[in-house]
Amino acid sequence: MEFPNPPTKAGDRPHVLVPYSFVDREFAGKLAGALRRDRVSPRVDEVEMSAGVFLITRISKAALPVDVVVPIISAASVTSGWVQRELEPVMTKELNRRRVVVLPAKVDNCALPAFLKSRPFVDFRGLGWNRAYENIKAAIQHRTSTGPATHRSPAVQPPPPGPRAPDTDEKAAGTKRVFLSYDYENDGNYKDVMVTWSKQPDFAHFSINDQPVTVPVDSEGAESLKRVIAAKISAATAFLCIVGAKTCTNGWVEWEIKKADELGKRMIAVRINRDCTVPEVLSDVGATCALSFTFEGIRRAIDEAYGGCSLE
C-alpha cells in the first residue's frame, strides 16, 4: 500500500519530539536533522532528558501541540527515569486534548522494558539506518496525512455499479491483498505500523477503511458505509484483524469478521499482546493467529493463511 502524499504546507506537518539520554545525543541529532532535511516536519525538537527534565511536562507545555514522540531507546536510556516512569503514560493518556503517537527508536541490543515489548517500535540496530529511518519517516507522514480523528459521521457514497477497477495499491499479480480490520478508536497506532510494514516488498499489501466510524453498526445510517467496506473486503484475498484490548466489544469489527467469512476470505488474527482475547466469532472460523506483533510473526501468519504461496 502506498502512503498518501505528505502535506505540502509546513503548518500541516506534525510537531515531532525526540527525547534522548546524553549518551545518545549524536544519534538523536542525526535523526532530527534527517526529518527536517526530508521535510517530514520543520518542527522537530531534540530534548536531552537530563535531571530535572520531565517528558510529560515538556509535551504539555510545548509552544505547539506535540503530535509524535520518537524516544531513543538504548542501553543508556532504558533504565532512566523518563523511560521507566514517564514513557508509558505518554503512550496511554491524552495530553492537551490529543492522543500523542509514540514511535520508539531502538538503537542497540538493549532489552526493552516490559511495557514496550508488545508495542510497535523501530529497530535501527536490526534493520540498519536506511530501512529503519524510512519506516519512521513513513509512519510520521501517514499519521499526518490521515489527520486527527473527527467526531462527525463520514460522508460515504456507495460504490458505483459495474465491474470494479483494481485498487491502485494492488501492484501486481501474486500480491497478497489483505483487508485490515481494527478498532479505530483504540488501535490506530498498530494499524499505522502495519501499513508502514506493507511498503516492504516481501510483505502483504493492505486495504483499509480509514474513516472515523461514529455511527452504530446496527443503525440505518450505517448501510452506506457497510456497502463500501463490503466492497473492500470482497476485493481482498484475505482478512486480517488486529486484536486489541477492546476488540471483542467492537460491533463494527464483529460485522467485518462475519462479512469476510461470508465472502470466503482467508482469516488471520494478530493479537497486540497475549492478554488480548480473540473475538469468539473470529476463533470460530479457524483464523490463522500470529504469535506476536512483530514483522516476522505477522508475515509468517499471512504466509500460512495463503498456504505459503502467492495468489494470482
Please give the sequence-ordered ranges of beta strands (E in DSSP) within the chain, or none if there are none.
15-20, 43-48, 68-69, 72-73, 94-95, 98-99, 101-102, 105-106, 122-123, 177-181, 205-208, 238-243, 266-271, 288-290
State the average pLDDT for the chain: 78
Distance, CA of 110 to chain centre: 23
Same domain, residue pair 105 and 224: no
Percentage of the chain modeled with pLDDT above 70:
80
Which residue segment(s) compose the domain that 184 sits in? 177-305
Per DSSP, the three-state class of 285 is coil
Q: Say yes or no: 133 and 213 in one domain.
A: no
Asked if 184 and 241 count as a contact pair (C-beta separation under 8 A), the reply is no
Q: Lowest-confidence range among 40-54, 157-171, 223-237? A: 157-171
* 94 pLDDT tier (thresholds 50, 70, 90): low
Closest alpha carbon to 77 in 86, 66, 68: 86
The pLDDT score that the predictor gives to residue 7 is: 36
Same domain, 86 and 211: no
Using the predicted structure, report yes or no on whether residue 257 has a pLDDT greater than 50.
yes
151-175 per-position pLDDT tens digit: 333 333 333 444 333 333 333 335 7
Mean pLDDT of 289-296: 84
Q: Where are the alpha helices (DSSP H) in 111-166?
A: 114-117, 124-127, 129-146
Number of domains in the chain: 2
C-alpha cell at 7: 502535506
Model pLDDT, residue 303: 87
CATH number reported for the structural domain that contains residue 26 in this entry: 3.40.50.10140
Write down the pLDDT at residue 161: 40
Please choose, from the candidates 209, 193, 204, the residue with its C-alpha nearest in 3D space to the C-alpha of residue 170: 204
Pick the most confident of 53-67, 123-137, 152-166, 298-312. 123-137
Q: Are residues 244 and 183 in the same domain?
A: yes
> Residue 170's closest CA among 235, 230, 226?
235
Report the predicted TM-score, pTM, of the whole model to 2 decimal places. Answer: 0.48
pLDDT on residue 144: 52
Q: Read off the pLDDT of each residue in 215-224 and give the average, rounded to a whole number.
A: 86
If asked whether residues 140 and 199 sit together in one domain, one would say no
- The single-letter DSSP state of residue 76 is T
Does the residue 312 lie in any domain? no
Do residues 189 and 119 both lie within one domain? no
pLDDT at position 306 is 83
Across 45-54, 94-103, 152-161, 297-306, the highest mean pLDDT is recorded for 297-306
> What are the helix (H) ranges across 147-250?
188-197, 223-235
**Dihedrals phi, psi of 152, to nearest 5 degrees:** -130, 155
pLDDT tier at 70, thresholds 50, 70, 90? very high
Half-sphere exposure (Cβ direction) of 50: Cα atoms closer than 13 Å: 5
Nearby residues of 304 by Cβ (< 8 Å), 6 or more positions away = 288
CATH number for the domain harbouring residue 246: 3.40.50.450
pLDDT score recorded for residue 163? 39
Q: How far is CA 66 from the centre of its chain?
A: 18
